[in-house]
Structure 1
Amino acid sequence: MHQIDTYQDNPHRQQVIALWTDVFGRSTGHNDPALSIDKKLAVDDGLFFVALVDGRVVGTTLGGYDGHRGWLYSVAVARAFRSSGIGAALVRRAEQALAQRGCTKINLQIVGSNAGVADFYQSLGYEVEDRISMGRKVAGNIPATD
């Protein structure tokens, strides 16, 4: 049985870093897990959720809300716990928190190399939209890597 909690830095930090490194396979630049955690905590919006099994972090999701649109980020579930409902529970918890803030639409992006996860999101009611996603890194805010 799992539970969904709000992230707490002390007990969860190292476990989230390990999970994201395993699931996303990235640990440098703007996607460095420690940097991502610190940046999210600085916003202090209560939209960082973890799934716990026996006190161990097995999943995460981050929500974002700018007053107009909501976003889901860093939805990750440990391989051993996939297809157990944890991913859906995390998404639903973030959706609930965003809806409580007045959010009327929630967006997410899928990395091209992970396009197979689209079926999961479609099963939760998300639709592929005709958009071009663009981004620009702010180099001055990204720590140098070794």
Structure 2
Amino acid sequence: MTAVGDAEGWRIRPFEMSDYDAVYALWLAGAPGIEIRPSDGREEVARRCQRDRELFLVAEGDGAIIGVVMGGWDGRRGWIHHLAVAPDFRGLGLGRSLVAAIEERLCEVGCLKVNLLVRRENRAARQLYEHLGYREAPTLVAMGKELRAGQDRR
């Protein structure tokens, strides 16, 4: 994927490991509702990048990382993970641009449906996703299990 420019002054491009510290800081400081897990550590993110580099995007603006989105593709369904936009850039369309970019990449790999999880209390994220055509799946229950106990692997 080549970088995507935007009239608003940001550029969307694939994540590089040199972006990790800025992305991690954005997840911690600028993303209400993102739960940092051991799988978000540097080593695990490096492995993910080897597998799905084109599905992990950052937005640059003002010389800094101002947005991020991770996508996933298991061969059947696509996933959107960890959409985050720096507070000073919220409400400008960057979140929409990042979602559109990851949806485009998922389509390129043959994905027909994309899913995401969002905390019920995260109204801003829910409104964004609903505006983009996502709908709550009332018959589904989100379940999870940690397979590997671990501490922050940053």
- CA shift, 1:55, in A, is 2.8
CA RMSD of aligned residues (A): 2.3
Higher helix share: 1
* Contact 1:6/1:46 (<8 A) preserved: yes
Percent identical pairs in the alignment equals 31
Q: Which residue of 2 aligns with 1:50?
A: 58
Structure 1 unmatched runs, 5+: none
What is the SS of the residue equivalent to 1:40? helix
Aligned length: 143
Contact map agreement 2:83 2:95 (CA 8 A) in 1? yes
TM-score (norm 1): 0.86
Instruction: List runs of 5+ in structure 2 lacking aligned partners.
Output: 1-8
Greater CA drift, 33-42 or 128-137 = 33-42
* Structure 2 counterpart of 1:17, one-letter code: Y
**Aligned to 1:30, which of 38, 63, 79?**
38
Number of the residue aligned with 1:133: 142
Aligned match for 1:85, one of 89, 93, 103? 93
Q: Deviations over 1:89-134 (max 9, x none)?
A: 0000000000011100000000234244211101111111121010
Distance in structure 1 (CA, Å) of the matches to 2:35 and 2:125:
21
| Distance of 1:72 and 1:55 partners within structure 2 | 25
1:1-146 equivalences under 5 Å are: 1-10=9-18, 12-24=19-31, 29-30=37-38, 32-34=40-42, 37-130=45-138, 131-139=140-148, 142-144=149-151
Measured against aligned partners, the alpha-carbon deviations of 1:14-67 in whole angstroms (never above 9, x if no partner) come to 111110111347786536453552342242442100011033100000000011
- Seen in structure 2, the aligned counterparts of structure 1 residues 29 and 126 have a Cα distance that, compared at 3 Å, is closer
The TM-score, its normalising length taken from structure 2, stands at 0.82
> What is the identity, as a one-letter code, of the residue corresponding to 1:37?
V
SS in 2 for 1:122: helix
What is the distance in 2 between the residues matched to 1:6 and 1:77? 16
When structure 1 is superposed on structure 2, of 28-37 and 75-84 the one drifting more is 28-37
Are 2:17 and 2:46, in contact at CA under 8 Å, matched by a contact in 1? no
